[in-house]
């Protein structure tokens, strides 16, 4: 009886935006008379930090201080449509909507500044809340003074709106093919997990998670790390702990309290190392792709592979509970793959062919 | 100072951690009524009769709703994408999962609401239930869904399919065929904030709905469809959510609150108990995935045969979407020239499953990556070298014919190897994601490479019609 260490790997990809697209986010922006920026978008912040990220994008797209931007996503009367906070679409699609709205506002600021400074708008730029003549920064006017001029002299509400929408990608039902990209971008990640498996209790402890994520561009590295580490814990729950139906497919013995449902907690938190790569997307806001959902996908297969590396058994029904690991160890010989010619057949006992009364004809019998 | 790339603190972080953020449950409106639901005690049963008269007569009860009170009771989450409606808001004729809502009441206190639920009389006739997706489509399996055991509307097919290349030939030519079965489980979303909504009738005749939805416009559309109201009569207030993870796309409480508010002419609130959140809110779906890979002894993947069963629970909800997304990513981060994929949405008598972080792909990532670790083990190959060899490159075409323009599978894999101190051979260390040439463009991958410069439409600037004014 001993504890054994093992290492497992995985490499994954994950799409940004709803599969097959067709999921708009719209945003609009107005300036108050002192140059304060009000952003309205319907993107719900579920705790991932989209309000922060959108505010950062608007601040830089306009060239104004972050602190001068207010983000309102509080209701459907003032906000335009956002299809929703899912499908890892907040930063890319929501971010593009607010970026495009900000670019329209920027054009209006430059037009009015051009009148005030008597310089062509093409020769102006905005930085830190000041509109400056390119090459002659002493000729300047603040965004606040531009907004005041718009309000009191020109009778204009400086505003702009933006829509991010990629058209629906139709899928061919016969072969699954598409003719336009069915996503906005793809993010990539690799994961290395070290575990220790106790062959007496069957318990697996994750010692270390090393994860590399290409997110295109980290708009806010702290929030990206928050997603990576929060996702890692959910991935650990998927790999080792959580199960709505402990005896699936039976519906009995479901956990109905925190005390009877095993979600990961701080005591399960291993050493986590994050590497963020930035391979910018061609059309995301400032090159961003996505990080949200994919952050819990890489760990379960790496954990299961690490268990095999440690004790030589494959657990392919999730989660890899102590009971499952122990059973796999006990039945190690019986579970060796069956070899038939060049076929190496694992897991036959749990296959459709074995469990169905007619070999799974309804599923495996598909023609065409 | 540039904001993009800066480690700025969260916009709303201080308010969250000091308890000053107003979530739905913090909103106080004078005269608000409590909601409780009568839920099915059976996994599958016919509903012979419902009698709400005793409940309605209880002092303090202001409204009771059943299916008859819903202008359009049936709803489909994906109707906009062509998936027909199949799920009633309130059960009608039968119940198909334990916990399905049959009726709801609004009363002056939680206690009265609970007493009223107990006073609703329902006659059931229990029926056999089905739980194992592997057997659900067997000839002798009980069926309960109007569409049969599996979702039948993937165009002319009852399954999502991907077909590319010549899979039979790939399996003939392979040196080894590795077969495995992968079963990722259902889990709970476990948000700190349980499902909650508050519907307030306004003097204008509009209805304001305070909601924890992850998608205000989507949920507003769901409510509007059930009520048969125009969007002008609804206002959703939300945008700040105490944890969602996909579970709050379901619009679990909003519509029933709206119905009760309209009927009682009072503000109505419904907050799931923790037990309800665990037992009757939707879960991540359980999946069953069988993979067969045709490989060469030197580690090329020539072909893949996939059978996926997705446990939808009792109704379709987002399941057809999830299986299509799953199908689109069933080759993972690799280029496999010959694929045949069949994915079924299978109905069982459990809580309908729904979206959750990584929807459709978490499951296939488990299967693909664990399977590749096995393939490497069978071949006696380094697991990262196997991945690097088959990793997708610029110009490669996926199973569903997407031409990749910026994959970074090689970059993330090599970065992970280096950071972990895992040695790979020199030929692997020098790999990049550039277009395949030489040894990395064997005969079986030549046709997978799109012509130089060919790429599919990305973000379409003609659709970014932001007007200045």
Residue B88's alpha-carbon distances to B73, B77, B93, B124, in angstroms, are 5, 11, 10, 17
Are A112 and A9 found together in one domain? no
Domain boundary among B279, B294, B316: B279
CB contact under 8 A, B137 and A363: yes
Task: Name the least confident of A73-77, A111-115, B10-14.
Answer: B10-14
Asked whether residue A191 falls in the same domain as residue A149, the answer is: no
B109 and B206 assigned to the same domain: yes
pLDDT by residue (tens digit) across A210-267?
A: 999 999 999 999 999 999 999 999 999 999 999 999 999 999 999 999 999 999 998 9
Terminal Cα distance for chain A, rounded: 52
Residues of A with Cβ-Cβ distance to B467 under 8 angstroms: 104, 160-161
Give me the pLDDT at residue B462, please: 42
Contact A46 B244 (CB under 8 A): yes
Of A287, A311, A335, the position where a domain reaches its end is A311
Same domain assignment for residues A196 and A158: no
Assess if residue B5 is contained within a domain: no
Chain A partners of B469 at a C-beta cutoff of 8 Å? 108, 156-157, 159-160
Mark whether A201 and A274 lie in a shared domain: yes
Burial of A278: CB neighbours in 10 Å, binned 0-12, 13-18, 19+: middle
Helices A299-311 & A322-330 angle (0-180, nearest 10): 40
Q: Mutate which of A13, A321, A358 to test chain B, going by most B C-beta atoms within 10 A?
A: A13
Q: Closest to B344 (Cβ–Cβ): which among A75, A83, A363?
A: A363
Same domain (yes/no): A101, A59: yes
Domain contains B240? yes
What total of structural domains would you count in chain A? 2
Q: What is the pLDDT of residue B455?
A: 65
Residues B169 and B207 both lie in one domain? no
Q: Establish if A139 belongs to a structural domain.
A: yes
Domain assignment of residue B2, yes or no: no
Q: Are residues B262 and B165 in the same domain?
A: no
CA distance A200 to chain B (A): 24
What global pTM score does this model have?
0.97
Per the domain annotation, does B198 fall within a domain? yes
According to the model, what pLDDT value does residue B466 have?
39
Are residues B288 and B178 located together in one domain of the fold?
yes
Q: Which residues of B touch A81 (CB under 8 A)?
A: 217
Query: For residue A368, what pLDDT is reported?
Result: 85
Query: Can you tell me the distance from the alpha carbon of A169 to that of A180, in angstroms, rounded to the nearest whole number?
Result: 6
pLDDT-derived band at A274, boundaries 50, 70, 90:
very high
For chain B, give the number of residues: 469
Point out the residue among B183, B275, B400 whose CB comes nearest to the CB of A318.
B183
Q: Phi/psi at B16 (nearest 5 deg)?
A: -60, -50
Among A290, A311, A332, where does a domain finish? A311
Q: How far is CA A199 from the centre of its chain?
A: 36
Distance CA A127, CA A116 (A): 17
- With respect to residue A149, please indicate whether it lies within any of the assigned structural domains: yes
Beta carbons of A188 and B402 less than 8 Å apart? no
Tell me the C-alpha distance between A358 and B47, whole Å.
Answer: 32
Which CATH number does the domain housing residue A274 bear?
Answer: 3.30.365.10
Which strands make up the sheet holding A136-142, listed edge to edge?
Answer: A124-127, A130-133, A136-142
Reported ipTM: 0.97
Residues A93 and A190 grouped into a single domain: no
For residues B221 and B332, state if they share a domain.
no
In a domain, B467, yes or no: no
> Which among B278, B368, B460 has the least Cβ separation from residue A166?
B460
- Does A239 reside within a domain? yes
- Residue A39 within any structural domain of the chain: yes
In chain B, the N- to C-terminal Cα span, in Å, equals 29
Count of helices and strands (H, E) across chain B: 13, 17
Task: Please name which of B97, B80, B223, B182 lies closest in space to residue A351, comparing C-alpha atoms.
Answer: B182
Nearest to A47 among B149, B156, B241 (CB): B241
Quick one: A191 and A216 in the same domain?
yes
Cβ contacts of A348 on chain B, cutoff 8 Å? 181
The stretch A140-169 carries a mean pLDDT of: 97
Based on the domain organization, do B230 and B341 belong to the same domain? no
Structure tokens at A299: 């760990």
d(CA B374, CA B368): 10
Taking the CA of residue A74 and the nearest CA in chain B, the distance in Å comes to 5
Residue B223 lies in a domain: yes
- Cα→Cα distances B358→A9, A291, B437, Å: 19, 10, 33
**Cβ–Cβ gap B241/A46 under 8 Å:** yes
**Cross-chain Cβ contact B362/A255 below 8 Å:** no
In a domain, B136, yes or no: no
Asked whether residue A83 falls in the same domain as residue A193, the answer is no
Q: What is the CATH number of the domain that holds B44?
A: 3.90.1170.50
How far apart (Å, rounded) are the C-alpha atoms in residues B397 and B390?
13
Residues B241 and B182 in one domain: no
A191 and A56 housed in the same domain: no
Distance between CA B165 and CA B96 in Å, rounded? 41
Contact between B96 and B67 (Cβ < 8 Å): no
Tokens of A205: 């402890």
B341 shares a domain with B200: no
Residues in chain B within 8 Å Cβ distance of A185? 406
Of B227, B244, B279, the position where a domain reaches its end is B279
Q: Domain ends where: B238, B258, B279?
A: B279
Do the Cβ atoms of B6 and A56 come within 8 Å?
A: yes
What residues make up the domain containing A203? Answer: 3-15+183-311
CA distance linking residue B341 with residue B360, whole number of Å = 14
Regions in chain B scoring below 50 on pLDDT: 460-469
Rg of chain B (C-alpha set): 26
Nearest to A18 by CA among A73, A93, A81, A76: A93
Give the Å distances, CA to CA, from A195 to A204, B362, B385: 7, 21, 21
Query: In whole angstroms, what is the distance from residue B329 CA to residue B362 CA?
Result: 10
Could you tell me if residue A175 is inside a domain?
no
**Cβ atoms B38, B103 nearer than 8 A:** yes
What total number of domains does chain B contain?
Answer: 2
* A93 and A198 share one domain: no
Residue A354 within a domain: no
Best probe of the A interface among B6, B8, B392, B453, by most A CBs < 10 A, is B8
User: Do residues B398 and B304 both lie within one domain?
Assistant: yes
Q: What is the 3-state secondary structure (H, E, C) of B228-244?
A: CCCHHHEEEECCECCCC
Is the CB of A104 less than 8 angstroms away from the CB of B187?
no
What is the strand order of the sheet A25-31 is part of? Answer: A69-72, A37-41, A25-31, A159-164
A79 at interface of B, judged by CB pairs closer than 8 A: yes
Asked if residue B149 lies in contact with residue A356, where contact means CB atoms within 8 angstroms, the answer is no
Claim to verify: residue B221 and residue B310 sit in the same structural domain: no
For A164, the closest chain B residue by CA position comes to: B464
Provide the pLDDT confidence category of residue A29 given band limits of 50, 70 and 90: very high
Identify the CA nearest to B50 among candidates B145, B124, B151, B152: B124
| A346 part of a folded domain | no
What confidence tens digit (pLDDT) does each residue in A114-147 have? 999 999 999 999 999 999 999 999 999 999 999 9
Selected for mutation to probe chain A from B148, B194, B217, B403 (highest A CB count within 10 Å) is B217
Nearest to B140 among A255, A256, A357 (CB): A357
CB contact under 8 A, A245 and B465: no
Q: Whole-number mean pLDDT of chain A?
A: 97
User: What is the chain A residue with the closest CA to B174?
Assistant: A342
Closest CA to B278 of A232, A249, A243: A243
- Is residue A343 in a domain? no
Domain range holding B434? 160-186+283-446
Q: Residue B453 corresponds to which tokens in the numbers above?
A: 């410069």
Listed residue (B335, B316, B5, B20) closest to B160, CA to CA = B316
Residues of chain A with C-beta less than 8 angstroms from the C-beta of B348? 249
Identify the residue among A81, A93, A186 best suited for mutation to test binding to B, counting B beta carbons within 10 A and taking the highest.
A186
Place of tokens 């990556």: B369
Residue B169: which CATH number? Answer: 3.30.365.10
Displacement of CA B411 from its chain's centroid (Å): 30
A and B: number of Cβ contacts within 8 A: 486
B224 domain-assigned: yes
To the query of whether residue A293 is one of the catalytic residues in this protein, the response is: yes
Task: Measure Cα distances from A237 to A160, A295, B98, B195 in Å.
Answer: 44, 12, 25, 22
Task: Please report how the helices A299-311 and A221-236 are oriented relative to each other, as an axis angle in degrees rounded to 10.
Answer: 50
Identify all chain A residues contacting B218, using CB atoms and an 8 Å cutoff.
83-84
Kind of pairing, strands B338-347 and B301-313? parallel
Chain B residues in contact with A46 by the CB 8 A cut-off are 214, 241, 243-245, 248
Using the 3D structure, point to which of A164, A195, A216 is the last residue of a domain. A164
Q: Which residues of A touch B459 (CB under 8 A)?
A: 96, 164, 166, 184, 282-284
In angstroms, the CA B105 to CA B115 distance is: 10
- Residue B268 backbone dihedrals phi, psi, to 5 degrees: -130, 130
A79 and A209 belong to one structural domain: no
- The verdict on B197 and B329 lying in the same domain is no
| Candidates A116, A125, A156, A293; catalytic one | A293
**Does A117 share its domain with A57?**
yes
Contact criterion met (CB below 8 Å) for B78 and B151 = no
The span from the CA of B40 to the CA of B38, in Å, is: 7
Cβ neighbours for B271, distance < 8 A, ≥ 6 positions apart: B25, B194, B195, B196, B253
Taking the CA atoms of B364, B381, B419 and B411 in sequence, report the sign of the dihedral they define. Answer: negative
């Amino acid at each position: 009886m001993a504890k054994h260490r093992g290492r497992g790997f995985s490499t994954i990809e994950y799409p940004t935006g709803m599969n097959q697209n067709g999921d708009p986010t719209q945003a609009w922006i107005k300036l108050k008379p002192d140059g304060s920026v009000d952003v309205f978008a319907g993107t719900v912040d579920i705790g991932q930090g989209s309000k922060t990220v959108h505010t950062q994008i608007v601040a830089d797209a306009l060239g104004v201080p972050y602190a001068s931007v207010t983000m309102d996503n509080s209701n459907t009367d003032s906000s335009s449509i956002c299809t929703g906070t899912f499908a890892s679409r907040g930063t890319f699609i929501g971010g593009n909507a607010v970026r495009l709205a900000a670019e329209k506002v920027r054009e209006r600021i430059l037009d009015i500044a051009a009148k005030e400074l008597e310089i062509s708008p093409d020769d102006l730029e905005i930085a830190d809340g000041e509109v400056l003549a390119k090459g002659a920064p002493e000729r300047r006017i603040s965004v606040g003074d531009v907004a005041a001029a718009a309000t009191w002299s020109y009778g204009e509400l400086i505003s702009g709106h933006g829509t991010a929408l990629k058209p629906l990608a139709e899928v061919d039902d016969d072969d699954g093919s598409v003719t336009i990209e069915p996503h906005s971008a793809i993010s990539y990640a690799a994961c290395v997990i070290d575990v220790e498996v106790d062959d007496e209790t069957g318990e697996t402890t994750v010692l270390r998670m090393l994860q590399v994520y290409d997110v295109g561009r980290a708009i806010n590295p702290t929030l990206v790390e928050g997603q990576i580490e929060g996702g890692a814990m959910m991935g650990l729950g998927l790999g080792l702990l959580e199960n709505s139906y402990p005896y699936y497919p039976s519906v009995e013995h479901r956990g109905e309290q925190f005390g009877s449902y095993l979600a990961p907690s701080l005591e399960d938190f291993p050493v986590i190392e994050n590497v963020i790569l930035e391979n910018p997307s061609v059309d995301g806001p400032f090159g961003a792709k996505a990080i949200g959902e994919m952050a819990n996908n890489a760990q379960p297969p790496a954990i299961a592979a690490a268990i095999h590396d440690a004790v030589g058994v494959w657990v392919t029904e999730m989660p890899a509970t102590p009971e499952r690991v122990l059973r796999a160890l006990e039945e190690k010989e019986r579970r060796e793959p069956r070899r038939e010619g060049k076929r190496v057949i694992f897991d036959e006992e749990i296959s459709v062919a074995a469990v169905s009364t007619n070999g799974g004809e309804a599923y495996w019998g598909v023609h065409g | 100072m540039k904001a993009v790339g800066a480690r700025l603190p969260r916009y709303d972080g201080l308010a969250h951690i000091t308890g000053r953020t107003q979530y739905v449950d913090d909103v106080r409106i004078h005269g608000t009524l409590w909601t409780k639901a009568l839920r099915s005690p059976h996994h599958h049963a016919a509903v012979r009769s419902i009698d709400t008269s005793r409940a309605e007569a209880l002092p303090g009860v202001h409204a009771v709703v059943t299916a008859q009170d819903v202008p359009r009771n049936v709803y489909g989450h994906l109707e906009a994408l062509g998936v027909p409606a199949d799920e009633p808001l309130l059960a009608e004729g039968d119940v198909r999962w334990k916990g399905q809502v049959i009726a709801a009441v609004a009363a002056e206190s939680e206690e009265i609401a609970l007493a009223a639920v107990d006073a609703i009389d329902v006659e059931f006739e229990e029926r056999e239930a089905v739980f194992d997706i592997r057997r659900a489509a067997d000839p002798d399996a009980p069926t309960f869904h109007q569409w049969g055991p599996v979702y039948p509307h993937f165009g002319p097919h009852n399954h999502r399919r991907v077909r590319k290349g010549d899979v039979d030939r790939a399996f003939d030519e392979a040196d080894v065929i590795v077969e495995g079965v992968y079963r990722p489980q259902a889990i709970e979303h476990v948000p700190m904030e349980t499902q909650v909504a508050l519907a307030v009738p306004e003097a204008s005749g509009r209805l304001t709905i305070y909601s924890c939805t992850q998608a205000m416009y989507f949920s507003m559309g769901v409510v509007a469809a059930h009520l048969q109201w125009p969007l002008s009569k609804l206002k959703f207030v939300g945008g700040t959510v105490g944890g969602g993870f996909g579970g709050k796309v379901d619009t679990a409480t909003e519509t029933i609150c709206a119905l009760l508010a309209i009927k009682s002419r009072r503000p109505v609130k419904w907050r799931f108990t923790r037990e309800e959140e665990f037992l009757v809110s939707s879960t991540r779906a359980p999946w069953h995935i069988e993979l067969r890979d045709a490989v060469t002894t030197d580690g090329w993947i020539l072909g893949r045969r996939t059978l996926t069963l997705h446990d939808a629970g009792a109704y379709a909800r987002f399941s057809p979407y999830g299986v299509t997304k799953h199908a689109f990513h069933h080759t993972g981060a690799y280029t496999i020239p010959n694929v045949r994929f069949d994915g079924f949405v299978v109905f069982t008598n459990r809580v309908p499953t729904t979206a959750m972080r990584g929807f459709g792909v978490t499951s296939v990532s488990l299967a693909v990556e664990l399977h590749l670790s096995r393939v490497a083990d069978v071949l006696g190959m380094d697991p990262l070298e196997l991945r690097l060899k088959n990793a997708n490159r610029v110009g490669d075409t996926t199973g569903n014919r997407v031409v990749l323009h910026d994959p970074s599978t090689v970059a993330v894999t090599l970065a992970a190897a280096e950071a972990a101190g895992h040695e790979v051979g020199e030929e692997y260390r020098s790999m990049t994601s550039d277009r395949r040439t030489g040894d990395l463009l064997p005969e079986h991958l030549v046709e997978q490479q799109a012509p130089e410069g060919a790429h599919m439409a990305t973000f379409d600037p003609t659709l970014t019609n932001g007007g200045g004014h």
